Chains A and B, each alone.
Chain A
Amino acid sequence: MPEWDKATEKMLVRTARKGDKEAYGRLYDHYAPLVFRFLFAHLDDRQDAEDLAVEVFMRVWRALSGYRERGAPFGAFIFRVARNALIDHYRRGNNSDLPLEEHHADGGQSDPAEALPARLERDKVRQALSGLRGEQRVVLELRFLAELSTEEIGLVMGKSSGAVRVMQHRALAALRKRLEELEVSNG
């Protein structure tokens, strides 16, 4: 995210905490697509992912008083709320207390207007990721879909950067293996 200046972000967050919705809107413009990507990796329905992304930002707005700039980057805070929102979404929708990592889309109800190849590609990714252990999957999603740094991922998951690097390494090794298995099983 080279064009997104962290100093600007700090200023916007500070202003938003005082109630400035326009400043918050700018933060939303930047982070909403990333949050959507993260959520869409778990939710098969695009509309659900969009609705939940908006809900995440409403929750972040209401919880802004709890955020401290010196604590962690704002992105880490947003994705922590996003992760919790996803868990709440599953609990409400599925009446399930399974951890986030146990849930994944089954490719059943995609947007009918969307091109088939795009959907199939997405399903392939979900299928590959579903073979990973829960935390490994989340690390890859936050790294590649949400585009967070190792430090930010550590803050979202409550782990050290070193631990995240280890998980990341193992997750990619596992993903590689999974892809080989899928290739073999698909002929």
Chain B
Amino acid sequence: MSDAFFAQNGFSVLSASNSAIFVFVVYIALVLLLAFASNRLRRSKSFLTEYFLGSRSLGVWAFALTFAATSASGGSFVGFPSLAYTHGWIVALWIGSYMIVPLVSMGFLAKRLNHVARKSNAITIPDVLRDRFNSPLFGLLSTMMIIFFLSFNLIAQFKSGSVILQTLLADVPLFQSTSNWVAGTLGQVAVLRSAVNDPGYVVCLLVFALVVIVYTTYGGFRAVVWTDVLQGVVMVGGVMFMLPITLWAVGGLSQASREMAAMVPPRDVTLWVTADKSTAAKLPADDGSADEATADGIPAGPITIPKNSWLTKTNGEGSLRLFRLKSRAELPPHKDVPDGVAVDAIEVFDVDAIKRIRIADLPLTIGKVVEVKETESYGEGQQGVYLTGPGPSQSRTAGFLPISLAISFFFMWTFSGAGQPSNMVRLMAFRDSRTLRRAIFTVSIYYSLIYFPMVIIFCCARVLLPGWETEPDRIMPEMARLVSWSINQPWLAGILVAAPFAAVMSTMDSFLLMISSAIVRDIYQRWVNPDAKERTIKRMTYLSTCVIGTVAVFAALNPPQLLQDIIVFTGSGLSVTFLVPVALSIYWPRFNLKGAASSMLAGFTTHTSLYAVGFWRFHKMTAIEPLGFHPFIAGLLIALLVAVSVTLLTKRPPQHLVEKYFMAEAPQS
């Protein structure tokens, strides 16, 4: 362990937070400036093509970074680190297919999709499908699918950004007072009362949403691309900066791995906690009655133990047990509840962790400790599970990543990337083949600099920041703070936290724009008002972007747990719905409308059914896994089977469509 790292503890938390926020605000200001510049540029061009596709003029860096930044979402910088932290080195295999994702997701479809889109002057993916098969109804079907899945993802991304911002602002007095005010206000509105449990989250959600909605609405596609370039630089810079400092702090990767090898996974427990009688008067009561202790020193009101507080208990043999709270606890005065109250916690078995944490200085006593029995866990009580497959799991006896699931994810990340409409739209926007070749190479290197280093960083985080199994989605911003404080440069936290924040923003703005384009171009302009003037389209576009963002904010007030589950559902769902129809439509001349529509519906139905049954059975966002494989595999295979069989069993497509999209005039001899 690096002694230099643990020797540093004299910083001022307040000044650290202020400087980090300053850097962060500068970053946001830059983003808004880019949106303004983009809006000015757009005035001389066709609104729709420029607003939704940047006039098909993206060069290498813009194309590469917008593609990479859009793909790397909140899942990459919040969900993925939390998985690496929770499950260890096995996550390297879970993410391993990203080595080849650039080649497949860009090289497999890009050239032909760009070519086909130019032939029909398509701006959106529904446009491409509609024109390829000459079917407005099929275009409408595709639009509905996009809106369905992206709406889920948008909510998850809003949560991501808010969680990140919350960590950055946690120690700022203005933020704390604003959160208290929001808690008081929300408590008076019945439908919003549940959000009072985490008012800080609500404040961050509103700030974050406002920034994203404003710059996306005002700037359109080009603003999204330019901010993606900025965000792409921040993301890779953030990771490259964190890596060496993390390795230094932990004393080298070998040291970290050896410590991980000795670790035993924490377990869920219930603690019975009682306020001490003798020192209770020192505690500030939650209702402000700290100075009104009773004659025997017991406070008049309840005591709050913050979430993530560390508590210890020494057992009869003198050995120390270490616990961390999973939620905030209200502790009534001792006289009211002499046996104490039950609080949820985890027990951390790495007793060396005590050197790296701050034990809560709270005068209370832990009585009974009741273990919460996990009937379907793997790795409980075992060493070495963080270094080997399948990795520890609290919800699956087969472990985190049994080999069948590893195979599924290898396929899924690769081909789901290719099948994302938000990625496909970018494949329609690059300038020429030369740009494409160089961009594929650039993104390959870019992913190499992000994903594998993040596995290293967040495996090391297990050693540096123990006990974050209570709230694993916060591990990224917590590491950013730790790393910047460790070198006494607290302002860097603003940039490092900007990295995951940038990832979330770069994905959210794309999704927001996609849903907006689906509504305006694919529904309003195609079906409701084909003769709409450009001014009307413009207003509709601005309005729909704002409204969609606002609705998503309200939906995110009660945030979902584990972001990664939602992101996997929507990502894999979009791919099984779109990949086969789009790929076959550009590579198979025989492919017809019935085959395409059937394939789309078959993929969608299979995927959502497996998740629906899983949700009903397990009461969480998890799917049934046929033969142990992720539902993506089943959905994709069924979509492909249906596509081929329906096409071959039905009549050929019209000759004029085949000639338009697959043939060219031979050069005259």
A binds B: no
Chain A residues proximal to chain B, CB less than 8 Å = none
Chain B residues proximal to chain A, CB less than 8 Å = none
